[in-house]
Structure 1
Amino acid sequence: MTQEKVQYPQLFLRLAISATMLSAVADRFGFWGENSAWGNWGNFEKYTEQLTYFLPESLSTFSAYTATFLEILFPLMLILGFKTKIAAYGTGFLLLLFAFSMTVALGVKAPLDYSVWIGSAAAFLLATQHKYNFSIDILTQKF
């Protein structure tokens, strides 16, 4: 498939991954109201402690803040198409780490139900692209 035929599906993939991650962040700040999984930061920290039970509490809290920061940073980079390959790899590894943590702490079913493996694989597939149309990256290559 030529690069021209891939440009719209690739953009859709960037936007879909970004929307999914930003939705999770919105949830932990209570923006989804009654449709929330966590509903507030405190519940998200408890969930993070459950997933990172093997870490001291201070590192578990740090991982909640770090994950949230990265779950805002990487999607914004993907939406803008800024350092897209780095953002895609970062997203892939972040979701892979999340999937492994969920599997160890909650069992095999949880990351499958939330499509975390698919998100990670999609981000890694996005990272293999040679060119990112509709992006800041493509604009800066012309100069």
Structure 2
Amino acid sequence: MPMPRQPKPTPAELELLRTLWQLGPSTVKQVHEAQQRERPELAYANVLRLMQIMHGKGLLKRDERQRSHVYAVAQAQRSLQSRLLDDLIHKAFSGSGKALVMAALRSDKVSDAERAEIQQFLEDTRDE
């Protein structure tokens, strides 16, 4: 029996997941306050609705033992990122991890400090 496909988060859901990865298990109010620092116009009701949808999709777990429900991510950050990266490599780079890395390194999104860190990583792992 094949494993059920895990849902892929939308950009708004990814933003909310990043907040929860940073905060840990949190109430809607805590997530709303954290996200308002970046987006002051964000309404509490929007955060609540999105978290309810994400719970329904299986992206979040909800602890209902307290009056204010506490939400937590259902999948670890590294695990979800790996799954999304695998999907990106398959769809956009014909399954080539090398093509993805080369495209990333050609972009202006990688700073000189990040390039140095990547170079150090490659040197450190060369002998492994």
Q: Which has the larger radius of gyration?
A: 2
The TM-score range, normalised by the shorter chain, is under 0.3
TM-score, scaled to structure 2 = 0.28
Higher helix share: 1
TM-score, scaled to structure 1 = 0.26
Higher strand share: 2
